[in-house]
Amino acid sequence: MGIIAVQYLEDSQNISPEDARKKLHTAFDTLPISKVIVGWNLAHGLVEACAEECARFDAELYRWQPLLTSDAVFVPKPEWLTIGLDREPVIHWGEPAFTFACPNHPDVRDRITARLQEIIEQEIYHGVFLDRIRFPSPMAAPMQELSCFCAHCRRVAQTQDLDLVAMERSISRLFHSPEQVFELVRLLLGGRPTGAHDETIGDLDAFLRFRIHSINGLVEAASAIIRDSSLAVGLDCFSPSLAHAVGQNIPALMPHADWTKIMSYGHTLGIAGLPYELSGLAAWMIGYLGLSEARVYRFLSDLTGLFLPSTTTELCETGIPSAGLAHEAAVAPTDNLYAGIELVDLDRFTVLNDAQITSDMRAFKSSGVAGLLLSWDLWHIPQHRLDLVRKIWVDG
């Protein structure tokens, strides 16, 4: 049996401490939960109630902390935002929760350091779970949202002998032919270039590695602050087939943490969900290149190893097959790797059923991951789903 962790009470919610305690107590009675990860911007009474229940059941309490997006105290200023290929700030859905600050902006780094110190001084947590440790996803609009090309990224790039201005011009030329677009997508999803490795492909490869270096440095610095206070570190990362596209190299990030969760959400039609991100990329390729759904999905399926269906409709209705999720978990080292699984029915955002959840849990279990993380969030997970986790993950 692997470890079970839960995410609980994301952001501010109108829940009484007593109700929060009851829900958590019931979950502890159902499952051997070892980690409870509570969100940001919560009333102190809610956090205290969770801390008391964790102490009662000998579980660790983690602070769930977005690093590069707003937590209502740290709010990215307009001048901190990432800049895309179209030289405009990248803003997803117009929401602070998905509007990312640039990890290379010195004011951002200073404010993150101060915010982590404020959290640590509360002395109520056993660890910090770092979320939003990435660049914005460019999947649905890479010509606009591949970032960041701000002045601070240019300055940092110069210290690595990279000319980001010249690279920006070079990368923009990759959109001029179907062959180059396929090479761009291949690199974006972590593949290697095929055929002649021309200058534009080389510049894109170098830029993507620069982004990975930027995120790795940010996480390394944040982890050092947390660990210096004898707290544990958990990381929330994109699913491995998508991680490269947002500047994450999961094997390189894992040494900075005590454990790492992958967001291999196979049935989520929202940011970070595999169907959402891949259907967005497919729609852009189909529209920009004038290709058939079948050809684009065949290319993406072969590239990712996710056994994708051949149409967007089927992908959104059925999600990623369990074999594809097992492949995701096997891509990264499984020591201290947790698989995230969605268990909440959200209208227009998740397409779930118990048979599919059972199959997915068995796939994750067979992959050898160290744990299962029940995601966003426990307050909304119905009891019969917790019973299902016990039947399959604990007793199965």
Q: CA-to-CA distance for 37 and 110, rounded, in angstroms?
A: 25
Kindly give the interhelix angle for 178-188 and 199-227, rounded to the nearest 10 degrees: 20
Task: DSSP letter for 101, please.
Answer: B
Q: Apex CA 272: angle with CA 379 and CA 93, to 5°?
A: 90
The tens place of each residue's pLDDT in the chain, 396 residues long, gives: 689 999 999 876 789 999 999 999 999 999 999 999 999 999 999 999 999 999 999 999 999 999 999 999 999 999 999 999 999 999 876 666 789 999 999 999 999 999 999 999 999 999 999 999 999 999 999 999 999 999 999 999 999 999 999 999 999 999 999 999 999 999 999 998 886 668 899 999 999 999 999 999 999 999 999 999 999 999 999 999 999 999 999 999 999 999 999 999 999 999 999 999 999 999 999 999 999 999 999 999 999 999 999 999 999 999 999 999 999 999 888 889 999 999 999 998 999 999 999 999 999 999 999 999 999 899 999 999 999 999 999 998
Task: Report the length, in residues, of the chain.
Answer: 396
* pLDDT at 331 (0 to 100): 86
* pLDDT at 193 (0 to 100): 81
Please return the burial class of 118, using the count of CB atoms within 10 Å of its CB with bins 0-12, 13-18 and 19+: exposed
Query: How many other C-beta atoms lie within 10 A of the C-beta of residue 355?
Result: 8
- Maximum Cα–Cα distance across the chain: 63
Please return the burial class of 338, using the count of CB atoms within 10 Å of its CB with bins 0-12, 13-18 and 19+: buried
Put residue 260 in one of left, alpha, beta given phi > 0 → left and psi -120 to 50 → alpha.
beta
Locate 24 and state its tokens.
């958590």
* pLDDT at 92 (0 to 100): 75
pTM over 0.85: yes
Put residue 276 in one of left, alpha, beta given phi > 0 → left and psi -120 to 50 → alpha.
alpha
Please return the burial class of 394, using the count of CB atoms within 10 Å of its CB with bins 0-12, 13-18 and 19+: middle
Cβ–Cβ < 8 Å for 108, 144:
no
Task: DSSP letter for 378, please.
Answer: G
Cβ–Cβ < 8 Å for 124, 61:
yes
Task: DSSP letter for 394, please.
Answer: I
Put residue 197 in one of left, alpha, beta given phi > 0 → left and psi -120 to 50 → alpha.
beta
The alpha-carbon radius of gyration of the chain (Å, integer) is: 21
Locate 113 and state its tokens.
């350091």
Cβ–Cβ < 8 Å for 231, 126:
yes
Cβ–Cβ < 8 Å for 147, 171:
no
Q: Apex CA 252: angle with CA 246 and CA 258, to 5°?
A: 105
Q: CA-to-CA distance for 381 and 376, rounded, in angstroms?
A: 8
Q: CA-to-CA distance for 93 and 219, rounded, in angstroms?
A: 25
Cβ–Cβ < 8 Å for 145, 98:
no
Secondary structure percentages of the chain, helix, strand, coil, to 5: 50, 15, 35
Locate 61 and state its tokens.
């309490």
- How does 64-80 read in b/e, with b if 16+ C-beta sit within 10 Å? bbbbbbbbeebebeeeb
Question: Which CATH topology does 3-133+209-394 take?
Answer: TIM Barrel (3.20.20)
Q: CA-to-CA distance for 331 and 323, rounded, in angstroms?
A: 13
